Each structure stands twice: as structure tokens, then as C-alpha cells.
């Protein structure tokens, strides 16, 4: 056992949230140790947002080219995965090498330690033989990993998680996807557009079950995959290809199997019990300053407040300001945005209509199908989507919204502002919306309340 090294701050996990926190604290002049056992930057740049959105971009280009007949002549489309794999490898991930990210952190004055950190007591962190004692802050930013459900026969088969799906250089002829959440749906549409026969197996009664029912309908209609809902995988076997027995007695087969059944924080491995926190909890509970305990902060997926990169960045900013005693606003999750990057994109913010109905007394909903708006009509093929707003009529403000359509992820920004700033519905009603934009449909949806 080496000597204990005394520092100001130890950050465990240098994914999106940890890198932002550690880098800013180091740049502010604190002595910061950043510990990462895999790649600095975490899931988002190497196996999440960035490479998957490159894939989505490629799939959308294919789909748009296929819309040319009837609109603008003819086009021959021959999908090829090679340029997608190349972009993912060379442009997104540097061949899954984090040198640039490590240098970015050390360039701000931080000390980088590669290894698995364990908490051994208040402010104390062990990495290999070295122990660190943080006098000012311990920050836990350890993210989540793919959940592998305990399905008979699954363990030991060469199933994919998002990591293998992102890293693949070649595509299978057929793919089974367990789970129809954001991960399952985004991969399904991309791979289907490159000619893979995709089957989604979703245990609940609709895909994108956390979103509005209309979002699930749009997703199912555009995804290009066979969607089996209300069935769970009962047994998996592998003999060069996968066979999955489903809970209704039927069987599906596929060359590959992607497990996309959710994410979990692995709190049990961190030594939380040594600082009075519960290692059996699902997530770390934080207050509005991202404090999880005495001189302990937690940010990102590990808090369970929304597994999105923008949430990790948001929470990192709050934790940094608190650790540096800079004040400013605390965490406020009312206007939490999210975008499922299908074609059409499905943007959403705040509460769904079902959540609002269960929490509030006087809720009204306004919905406009996109093809009934001027821009949707002009757009023609590929205009699937809708705009839905959810209002708390007692307070006269919006509390939730969904914008599905060709620019769904961009449209949601306007509604995020409305919810974040609590713009009165009366004020929104008097707003002028440019014609003929997709976002003009927001005005129509508000009129429909």
C-alpha cells in the first residue's frame, strides 16, 4: 500500500458528467484527481450519442434518397455500411482511443488516473495500490451499464449490447432486439434501412413506452422492423444464430441479438457503505445542489434523473458551482428535454399527458397531426409526426410537450423555453409563428387546448 495522497477533489468516472466536473474544478485551480477505468468521455462519445447519431444520419440519408421518386425524379440507392463504420471508427471515436480527452483534462491542470476506484471512507478513494484523500469533494459520476436480464440461456451467448452494435464493421442479415426503448428503436431503424431484417421484442404493450402513445404509434409506423409488443423473451439459445422463445409460446430467430432492456448504475461495487450511502439503491439520491452526502456530490446517469448527456452536463454545472461556492440556481427538472433520434425525430419535454393527469387536477391537451399543417402538407413523403402540448389549466402554463416530425428534435426547443420560463399560455396564444414552418404547428396545438 502506497502513501495516501492528499488532494482537494477526487472525481470517480470521467464520462460526460465526470469529465466536465473534474475539468472545470481543475481549471479553477483545485488539485483534482480524475479516475476512469475505461475511456475518458464515457459512453456518449464512444458507444452512445455521437456514433449512434452518425449511424442515424446515414440511415436518414438513405431514406430521404428513397423519397426522390414521386418528388424529384429517380435515384438509385445502394446502402453500404463501410463508410458508416469508418466514420464511427475514425471521426467519432479515434479507434476507441481517448488520448485527446485525457490531454484535454490534464491540459486544465487535472491529474488523470486510469483504474477502477473504490471508496474506502469519507473523502477516501482507492485505485490499485494508491489511496487518495479528498479534503473538499468526492464526486461520483460512474454512469450506467447495459442491463442484461436473467433470461434462461442468454448468459454465455455472443449477444450484443450497444457497444458491439456501435463497433460492428459488418451488418448481419437479421437482428433480434430485446427492448423497444430509445436504444432499441434507434438501432432498429438504422439497421433496417441498411437492409437488415430487424425484429423488436418489447415486454410492455408499446415501444417508446415512456413517451406519449402517439409517439409509439409514429415510431412503430416508421421503424421498418417487425415489432412484437406485450411479449418477453423466455429462453435464448445460440447455435451460430439466435433463437428466442417468447412468453406467448412463439419463436423468433436472428443472426445477432441486441440487448437493449435498459441501463443500471452499479452502486454495489463502489464502497458506498463506507460513507453511509446505500449500495443496494438503484441510483444515488441527490438534493438540488447534487449533494449525495457529506462532501459527496453525484452527477449524470448515476443520479437517475434522466440518462441523457445534457442532464449529465447540467448536473455537473450545478455541482461545480456548489463545490466552488459560487451560488446560482439549483437543479430543476420540470423542463427536462429529450429527443429520440428516429426519422422523424421525436422530441419531448416535461410531463407526458398521462403523468400530468396523475399529478395535476386540471389538465388539457392539444394535438395537431403534422400532415395537417401547411409545412407538413408541403413536405409530403416523410411528414409523419404530430405536435402535442399538455397544459396545467389551473396555472395557465404548459407542463409537457412532444414534437414528432422531420425537425422534431429542433422544434422541441421552443416548447422547452415555454415550460422552463413558465410562459403563460395567453402569451403563447398571441405569438406570431412564421409561415410555413414546422414549428408554426405549435401555435395550432396551443389553439387546440
Ligand X SMILES: NC(=O)c1ccc[n+]([C@@H]2O[C@H](COP(=O)([O-])OP(=O)(O)OC[C@H]3O[C@@H](n4cnc5c(N)ncnc54)[C@H](O)[C@@H]3O)[C@@H](O)[C@H]2O)c1
Q: Which residues bind ligand X (CB under 6 A)?
A: 149, 178-184, 186, 201-204, 209, 232-233, 260-263, 307-308, 338-341
Give the interface segment with ligand FAD, choosing from 230-238, 299-307, 389-397, 417-425 (CB under 6 A): 299-307
Shorter beta-carbon distance to ligand FAD: residue 313 or 448: 313
Phi and psi at residue 225, to the nearest 5° = -120, 160
CA 298/CA 285 separation, integer angstroms: 8
Stretch that binds ligand FAD, among 14-22, 102-110, 196-204, 401-409 (CB under 6 A): 14-22
Q: Which residues contact 204 (CB under 8 A, 6 or more apart)?
A: 180, 229, 230
DSSP alpha helices (H): ranges in 8-91? 16-27, 43-47, 49-65, 82-86
> Applying CB under 6 A, does 36 fall inside the site for ligand FAD?
yes
- Considering only 17, 110, 366, 405, the residue that binds ligand FAD (CB under 6 A) is 17
Beta bridge partners of 413: none
Give the nearest distance from C-beta 290 to ligand FAD in angstroms: 12
CA distance 38 to 143: 12
- Residue 370 DSSP symbol: G
Residue with smaller CB distance to ligand X, 178 or 428: 178
Q: How far is the CB of 141 from ligand FAD (least distance, A)?
A: 5
Q: Which does 13 bind (CB under 5 to 8 A by kind): ligand X, ligand FAD, none?
A: ligand FAD
Termini Cα distance of the chain = 66
Does 16 contact ligand FAD by CB under 6 A? Answer: yes
Q: Rule CB under 6 A: say whether 162 interacts with ligand FAD.
A: yes
Measured from each CB, the residue nearest to ligand X is 181
Q: How far apart are CA 314 and CA 289, in angstroms?
A: 11
Phi/psi region, residue 271 (left: phi>0; alpha: psi -120 to 50; beta: rest), is left
Applying CB under 6 A, which of residues 117, 198, 200, 425 lies at the interface with ligand FAD? 117
Give the residues across from 67 on adjacent strands: none
Q: What residues numbered 335-394 form the site for ligand FAD, per CB under 6 A?
A: 341
Which residue in 175, 307, 390, 398 binds ligand FAD (CB under 6 A)?
307
Q: Which of 316, 314, 319, 320 is nearest to 334 (CA)?
A: 314
Nearer to ligand FAD, 38 or 274 (CB): 38
- CB-nearer residue toward ligand FAD: 219 or 428: 219
Distance between CA atoms of residues 71 and 358, nearest Å: 45
As a dihedral over the C-alpha atoms of residue 239, residue 245, residue 251, residue 252, rounded to 10 degrees, the angle is -60
174 has which bridge partners? 197
Residue list 166-225, contact with ligand FAD (CB under 6 A) = 183
- Alpha-helical (H) ranges within 131-197 are 162-167, 182-193
Partner touching 116 among ligand X, ligand FAD, none, CB below 5 to 8 Å by kind: ligand FAD
CA distance 48 to 437: 31
Which of 141, 267, 298, 346: binder of ligand FAD (CB under 6 A)? 141
From the list ligand X, ligand FAD, none, partner contacted by residue 340 (C-beta under 5 to 8 A by kind): ligand X
CB of 376 to ligand X, least distance (A): 23
Contact residues for 172 (Cβ-Cβ < 8 A; gap 6+): 196, 254, 255, 256
d(CA 369, CA 377): 10
Stretch that binds ligand FAD, among 32-40, 70-78, 344-352, 414-422 (CB under 6 A): 32-40
Q: Which is nearer to ligand FAD, 162 or 373 (CB)?
A: 162
Which residues in this chain contact ligand FAD in the complex, by CB under 6 A?
12-13, 15-18, 35-38, 42-44, 48-49, 52-53, 116-117, 141-144, 162, 183, 270, 300-302, 307-310, 312, 341
Amino acid at each position: 500500500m502506497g502513501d495516501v495522497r492528499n488532494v482537494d477533489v477526487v472525481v470517480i468516472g470521467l464520462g460526460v458528467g465526470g469529465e466536465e466536473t473534474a475539468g472545470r474544478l481543475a481549471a479553477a485551480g483545485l488539485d483534482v484527481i480524475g479516475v476512469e477505468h475505461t475511456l475518458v468521455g464515457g459512453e456518449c462519445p464512444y458507444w452512445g450519442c455521437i456514433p449512434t447519431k452518425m449511424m442515424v444520419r446515414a440511415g436518414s440519408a438513405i431514406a430521404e434518397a428513397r423519397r426522390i421518386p414521386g418528388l424529384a425524379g429517380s435515384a438509385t440507392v445502394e446502402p453500404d455500411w463501410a463508410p458508416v463504420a469508418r466514420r464511427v471508427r475514425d471521426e467519432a471515436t479515434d479507434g476507441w482511443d481517448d488520448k485527446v480527452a485525457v490531454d484535454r483534462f490534464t491540459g486544465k491542470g487535472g491529474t488523470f488516473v486510469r483504474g477502477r476506484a473504490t471508496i474506502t471512507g469519507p473523502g477516501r478513494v482507492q485505485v490499485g495500490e494508491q489511496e487518495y484523500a479528498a479534503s473538499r469533494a468526492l464526486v461520483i459520476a460512474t454512469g450506467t451499464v447495459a442491463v442484461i436480464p436473467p433470461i434462461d440461456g442468454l448468459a454465455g451467448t455472443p449477444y450484443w449490447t450497444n457497444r458491439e452494435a456501435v463497433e460492428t464493421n459488418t451488418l448481419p442479415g437479421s437482428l433480434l432486439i430485446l427492448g423497444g426503448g430509445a436504444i432499441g428503436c434507434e438501432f432498429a431503424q438504422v439497421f433496417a434501412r441498411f437492409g437488415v431484417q430487424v425484429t423488436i421484442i418489447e415486454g410492455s404493450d408499446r415501444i417508446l413506452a415512456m413517451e406519449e402513445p402517439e409517439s409509439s404509434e409514429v415510431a412503430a409506423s416508421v421503424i421498418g422492423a417487425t415489432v412484437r409488443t406485450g411479449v418477453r423473451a423466455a429462453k435464448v439459445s445460440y447455435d451460430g444464430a439466435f433463437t428466442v422463445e417468447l412468453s406467448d409460446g412463439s419463436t423468433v430467430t436472428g443472426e445477432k441479438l441486441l440487448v437493449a432492456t435498459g441501463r443500471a448504475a452499479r452502486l454495489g461495487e463502489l464502497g458506498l457503505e463506507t460513507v453511509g450511502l446505500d449500495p443496494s439503491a438503484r441510483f444515488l439520491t441527490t438534493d438540488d445542489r447534487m449533494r449525495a452526502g457529506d462532501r459527496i456530490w453525484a452527477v449524470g446517469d448515476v443520479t437517475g434523473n434522466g440518462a441523457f448527456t445534457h442532464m449529465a452536463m447540467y448536473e455537473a454545472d450545478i455541482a461545480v458551482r456548489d463545490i466552488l461556492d459560487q451560488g446560482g440556481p439549483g437543479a430543476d427538472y420540470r423542463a427536462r428535454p429529450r429527443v429520440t433520434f428516429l426519422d422523424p425525430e421525436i422530441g419531448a419535454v416535461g410531463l407526458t399527458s398521462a403523468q400530468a393527469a396523475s399529478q395535476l387536477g386540471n389538465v388539457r391537451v392539444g394535438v395537431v397531426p403534422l400532415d395537417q399543417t401547411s409545412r407538413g402538407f408541403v413536405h409530403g413523403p416523410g411528414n409523419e409526426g404530430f405536435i402535442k402540448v399538455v397544459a396545467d389549466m389551473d396555472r395557465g402554463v404548459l407542463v409537457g410537450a412532444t414534437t414528432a416530425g422531420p425537425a422534431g428534435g429542433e422544434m422541441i426547443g421552443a416548447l422547452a423555453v415555454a415550460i422552463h420560463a413558465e410562459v403563460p399560455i395567453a402569451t403563447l396564444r398571441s405569438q406570431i409563428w412564421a409561415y410555413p414552418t414546422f414549428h408554426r404547428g405549435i401555435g395550432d396545438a396551443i389553439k387546440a387546448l
